[in-house]
Amino acid sequence: MRQELERGGLPELAQVWWREPMDERRLKRRERVATAYTAVYVLPFCVIGFGLLLVDPWLFPVSLWSFVHAWVIPELFAHRGARVVFPLRKSAGERPERTALGLLGDLLDHEPRELMLGTGLAMERGRLGVWLFGEAGALLLRSGGWRVHCFCVRVEDAELPRGDRIAHLLLALREDEVGFATVANHAFTGATWRVYRRLKEHQRPALEAAIAASSAERPTAPSRTISQAPARS
């Protein structure tokens, strides 16, 4: 069969020829840049908040305003990241949806299949980390589950059933993981707990499972931190 195989990576890479491959080294660089960027815009607000309190405790309303900014800005970025796996509008009938779920179920192992039925997100272990697929995007858990990358990517047919949209992304990843991460638009990287709080409630068990899978490599996963995080209504 070897002569039939195409070893050049995902064909879709031709559409984004200017992008460098999103490999381990570039993911790490993104993580460092994101951490530095967050520090750059959060620290000044914290310094201003504490500074005002030191100058005059009666300035606490202004100080509070500053702390709120330091909190809200990273939350908005995280929300942008979490949105990539939000469910899309249902576009197919019941029968195609069931048929597509059957095929997707065949592609997944038992545990990810059960998780998919409960949460709508499919889990896949890759070389770069643990992936969670939604209909129009994917989350990549790394560093033992402490850090998440959010990728916006979808199949170019909006009328496909939900299960098929996810199966397309899953197959593209299995063909070429680095190529998949390169074709996808990088939406966010940051602390997993921030994205966890922004996910739909029924999706959160999938992220918990992905953290657990990720922590198999690094035993100090943030599962306790996340389970204690206040739920967002």
Partner 1 sequence: MARLVRMDRSGHTELAAWTGTDQPSYERAAALFDEQLAGGYMGIARLADDSYEQVKRLPADAELVLLRRPIAGG
Does position 20 interact with partner 1 (CB under 8 A)? The reply is no
Residue located via tokens 């100058």: 55
Give the tokens for residue 97: 């949806």
Q: Kindly write out the interface string for residues 21-60 of this chain, putting x where it contacts partner 1 by CB under 8 A and - elsewhere.
A: ----------------------------------------
11: contact with partner 1 by CB under 8 A = yes
Minimum CB–partner distance for residue 131 and partner 1 (Å): 14
CA distances from residue 156 to 66, 105, 172, 225 in whole angstroms, order as listed: 43, 22, 13, 37
Query: What is the dihedral sign for C-alpha 41, 47, 53, 59?
Result: negative
Of positions 52, 78, 100, 128, contacts partner 1 by CB under 8 A: 100
How far is it, in rounded angstroms, from Cα 86 to Cα 27?
Answer: 23
Cβ neighbours for 176, distance < 8 A, ≥ 6 positions apart: 9, 10, 13
By CB under 8 A, tell whether 177 contacts partner 1: no
Please, what is the angle between helix 204-215 and helix 110-119, to 10°? 150
Instruction: Give the containing element (helix H, strand E) for 132.
Output: strand 130-133
Pick from 120, 161, 190, 222 the residue near partner 1 by CB under 8 A.
161
Does residue 159 interact with partner 1 by CB under 8 A? yes
Shortest CB 99 distance to partner 1, Å: 2
Q: Which residue bears the tokens 């998949």?
A: 180
The candidate with the shortest Cα–Cα distance to 130, out of 109, 118, 144, 119, is 144
Nearer to partner 1, 148 or 167 (CB): 167
Nearer to partner 1, 16 or 64 (CB): 16
Closest CB to partner 1 among residues 84, 209: 84
Distance of CA 155 to the CA centre of its chain: 17
Site size with partner 1, rule: CB under 8 A:
49
Q: Which tokens go with 30?
A: 């993104």
Determine the interface stretch with partner 1 among 37-45, 69-77, 177-185, 199-207 (rule: CB under 8 A): 177-185
Which one, 48 or 97, has the nearer CB to partner 1? Answer: 97
Structure tokens at 103: 């095929």
Interface residue list for partner 1 (CB under 8 A) = 1, 3-8, 10-12, 15-16, 84, 92, 95-103, 136-137, 151-157, 159-161, 163-164, 167-169, 171-172, 174-176, 180, 183-185
